[in-house]
Amino acid sequence: MFNNDVISSRDKLMINIVFALSAVVIMVATIENKMPSGLIGALGVMAVVGYILNLVGNKTPIINQYFGGGAIVVIFGSSYIFHSGLIPADTVTTVTTFVKGGGFLSFFIASLVTGSILGMETEVLKKAALKYIPVIFGGVACAFLFAGLVGAILGEGFFNSIMLIALPIMGGGMGAGAVPLVEIMKGSTDMSTEALMSKMVPALAIGNAVAIVMAGLLDKLGNAVPSLTGNGKLMREQLDKPAQEEHDAPASVQALGVGALLAITMFLVGTLLSSVIEMHPYALMILFVAFVKISGVMPRELERAAHAWSTFVVNNLTPALLVGIGVVYTNLDQIVMALTWTNLAMVVATVMGAIVGSALVGRLIGFYPIEAAITGGLCMANMGGTGDVAVLASCKRMSLMPFAQISSRLGGAFMLILATFILELFL
């Protein structure tokens, strides 16, 4: 949360004491059901729970080495804590309302997308954008192949495994993926809406969990084999050390405020454009921010401000948001109930196919395999925007958020088109 390089031992001690006292006050207020509704109550309990669980995850052997560390523990730990009766129902409602209706997730993603894109080198952005779509296609193709083969071996059928397991997992989450997929498929098959949802929703939940775990394992693989990873850089020829040094310079309070305003503005531009263009606001926001960056109309000082704000958000709000994802979007009961060996095998095959296909294609066109697998593979296999945050937090590569969102939004829309084409061709 703080830059340890510029904080003295005495200051660190005082910060820890203040945090401990704050945590005690917030947790007592929570247990006594005295937390106010809205931002102050929700963010307070999310920040404390997120920080503690993140610390536990990062200090726990095996979990911190192979399973994403803090991110995994925060998501699944907070889901259990908030839904097991340990936290008052009113606080759970407050957090749910803040994350969903309060727009916290949208604010977080807008900050990361705006800062990451404006912080890139223009030439790197141009080259990466042109090459990125084939990476998604490679991941989808192998995900379908792996899932179909495993499904056929287990007696579920090659075609059914693709349509009921792989397609929804790669389809961009629940609202933009599973729900429209059910509407597309129920008119072309003899399965009811309930039957389709009962098959797809558990696959999505398990797939999201597997993607988060795989992200942590890919980070570990990158540490073991450095040639496979750019440590957050997508392109192998990306050389931006001078720019990074410039970004790492301390930002003023005014610059952070300007960066926050730019992120909000870019999100609103995407929202306004979505009223006249049939695309998701996130996708339109990405395209608009990329256009601004490539055109060069944004002053360099403002680009640095946006990047500084995204860095601030990642460093300070990520654990809190992961708590929100655990509370609102992670249903442990649903995951456990659907955790049959057959379902698990097909889901793991889908996610592994996404990793292998996107990594191979990424390698061929000049990307680092691990970064290509994370963005073009795992961010297609997770549950949309919430899954993107969880996956990137697990592998410690939040700077890849723009490409993660391309996968979730544009890639998800492509899967709906592909589903329609497959049904018309084979049914």
Q: Tens of pLDDT along 184-232? A: 777 666 777 667 766 777 788 788 889 988 999 999 999 999 999 999 8
Picking from 208, 132, 228, 259, the residue whose alpha carbon sits closest to that of residue 385 is 208
| Alpha-carbon span 121 to 246, nearest angstrom | 12
Q: Quick one: which H or E segment has residue 229?
A: none
Site of tokens 């536990």: 56
84 φ/ψ angles, rounded to the nearest 5 degrees: -105, 5
Residues ≥6 apart with Cβ < 8 Å to 69: 54, 57, 58, 60, 63, 216, 394
From residue 374, how far is each of 23, 26, 122, 158, 205 by CA, in Å? 34, 36, 22, 26, 18
More confident residue, 407 or 292: 292
By the 10 Å C-beta count (0-12 exposed, 13-18 middle, 19+ buried), 276 is classed as exposed
Q: How confident is the model at residue 335 (pLDDT cuts 50, 70, 90)?
A: confident
pTM, entire model? 0.72
Average pLDDT over residues 114-122: 85
pLDDT of residue 134: 92
- Tens-digit pLDDT profile for residues 134-157: 999 999 999 999 999 999 999 989
* pLDDT at residue 241 in the model: 45
Measured distance CA(157)–CA(151) in Å, rounded: 5
CA atoms within 13 A on the CB side of 147: 32
Among 414, 425, 100, 95, CA closest to 280:
414
Is residue 80 predicted with pLDDT exceeding 80? yes
Q: Say which residues have a Cβ less than 8 Å from residue 368's Cβ, sequence separation at least 6.
A: 228, 229, 230, 233, 234, 235, 236, 362
